[in-house]
Amino acid sequence: MGQPQRPIAAEQPIIALGRVLQTIREEDNVDVLIDTTISYIREQFDYNLIWIALYDLPKHTLIGKGGVAPDGDSKFLRKQVALNPGGLLEQVVIEQRPLGVADLRLEPRAAEWQEIGKKFNIQGTIVLPIRYRDRFLGLLLFGSERWGYLLPGDAKARLLMVLGELGAALYQKEVNLQQQQTKHLDQPILHLLENLRTLNNLDQKLKSVVQTTHQFVSPSRTNIYWFERQGRYFWCRMSNQLANINRQDSKQQIAAGMTVQDLSEFYYALSVNQIVWIGDERSSLKSHFTAKVLQRLQVRSLLAAPILWQKELLGFLAVEANEPRIWTEGDKNFVQSAAGLISLVAPTETMDTTIKQIQDDAQLTSQVAQAIYNEDDLQVTLRNCATKVLTRFAATRFFLLQYNPNLHSYQIIFQSQPQNRRPLTFTFNALKDMDEQMLKSGTTAVEVQNIEEDLRFFNWRPLLLEHGTRSLLVCNCTQGHIPSALLVIAHETNRSWASLEKELLWAVSQQIGVIIRQWQLQSDTEQQQQILSSMQQCVRILQKAQSATTESETKHLEHTAIEQIATVLNSPLVMLLSWLPGDNFAEIIPGVIQDNRFGVVADQQIPIQTEAIIQWALSKDDYVCVYADDLPPETRKWLNGQGIGQVLAIALRTAADYAPTGVLLVADRRERHWTPQSLNATETLVTQLAWSRRQQQITKLLESTNQELRQLNWYKHRRLEEIQRTATQLLSQIEDVGIPTNELTQTRYKLLLRQLDHTTAAMTALVKLEQWQLHQSSETMPIATLLKRSLERVDNLLKQRKLWAGVHGLGQSATDTDSGNSGIFLKGLQPSSYPSSLAIAGDIVKFELVLYELLVVACNRSQSGGRIDIWCRRLEEGLLELSITDNGVIEPHLLAALQNQTPKDILVTSYLNQPPALHLLICQQLMQQLGGELHFYQLPDHRVVSRLLLPLAV
More confident residue, 532 or 651: 651
Task: Note the pLDDT tens digit of each residue in 11-23.
Answer: 677 888 888 888 8
Q: What average pLDDT score do residues 240-257 get?
A: 49
| Cβ(185)–Cβ(334) below 8 Å | yes
More confident residue, 670 or 820: 670
Distance of alpha carbon 203 from alpha carbon 223, whole angstroms: 13
Query: What is the side-by-side strand order in the sheet with 816-818?
Result: 816-818, 825-827, 804-808, 867-874, 879-886, 944-951, 933-938
pLDDT value at 339 more than 60? yes
pLDDT band per the 50, 70, 90 thresholds, residue 109: confident
pLDDT value at 31 more than 50? yes
Predicted confidence at residue 816, as pLDDT, reads 35
pLDDT value at 541 more than 70? no
pLDDT band per the 50, 70, 90 thresholds, residue 342: confident
User: Phi and psi (nearest 5°) for 549?
Assistant: -100, -25
More confident residue, 541 or 285: 285
Distance of alpha carbon 324 from alpha carbon 319, whole angstroms: 13
Q: What average pLDDT score do residues 686-704 get?
A: 79
More confident residue, 337 or 520: 337
Q: Which letter, b or e, does each residue of 715-740 get, where b requires 16 or more Cβ atoms within 10 Å of its Cβ?
A: eeeeebeeebeebeeeeeeeeeeeee
Q: Which of 68-77, 427-436, 468-477 has the lowest mean pLDDT?
A: 68-77
Predicted confidence at residue 316, as pLDDT, reads 92
Q: Which of 84-93, 219-228, 672-681 has the lowest mean pLDDT?
A: 672-681
Predicted confidence at residue 368, as pLDDT, reads 66
Give me the count of residues in the chain. Answer: 954
Q: What average pLDDT score do residues 60-69 get?
A: 88
Positive or negative, the CA dihedral 754, 756, 757, 759 is positive
pLDDT band per the 50, 70, 90 thresholds, residue 781: very high
Q: What average pLDDT score do residues 583-588 get?
A: 88
Q: Which residues pair with 321 in a beta bridge?
A: 301
| Cβ(125)–Cβ(117) below 8 Å | yes
What is the 3-class SS of 203-237, one letter each residue? Answer: HHHHHHHHHHHHHHHCCCEEEEEEEECECCEEEEE
| Cβ(380)–Cβ(367) below 8 Å | no
Task: Note the pLDDT tens digit of each residue in 499-533.
Answer: 888 888 888 888 888 878 877 777 777 766 766 66
pLDDT value at 222 more than 50? yes
Q: What average pLDDT score do residues 813-822 get?
A: 32
Q: What average pLDDT score do residues 560-588 get?
A: 83
Largest CA distance in the chain: 195
Predicted confidence at residue 203, as pLDDT, reads 85
Pairing of strands 80-82, 61-68: antiparallel
Task: Note the pLDDT tens digit of each residue in 272-326.
Answer: 888 888 876 677 877 667 778 888 888 888 999 999 887 888 899 999 988 888 7
Distance of alpha carbon 240 from alpha carbon 227, whole angstroms: 19
Q: Which of 313, 311, 307, 309 is nearest to 339 (CA)?
A: 307
Q: What average pLDDT score do residues 41-54 get?
A: 88
pLDDT value at 542 more than 90? no
pLDDT band per the 50, 70, 90 thresholds, residue 841: very high
Q: What average pLDDT score do residues 214-238 get?
A: 86
User: Phi and psi (nearest 5°) for 668?
Assistant: -155, 180
pLDDT value at 746 more than 80? no
| Cβ(770)–Cβ(849) below 8 Å | no
pLDDT value at 249 more than 50? no
Distance of alpha carbon 109 from alpha carbon 97, whole angstroms: 17
Average pLDDT, the chain: 80
pLDDT band per the 50, 70, 90 thresholds, residue 738: low
Predicted confidence at residue 826, as pLDDT, reads 41
More confident residue, 216 or 381: 216
pLDDT band per the 50, 70, 90 thresholds, residue 250: very low
DSSP 122: -
Predicted confidence at residue 827, as pLDDT, reads 41
Q: Which of 494-503, 711-720, 796-805 has the lowest mean pLDDT?
A: 711-720
Predicted confidence at residue 443, as pLDDT, reads 85
pLDDT value at 947 more than 90? yes
Helices 499-546, 676-737: inter-axial angle, 10-degree rounding: 20
Q: What SS3 class is residue 160?
A: helix
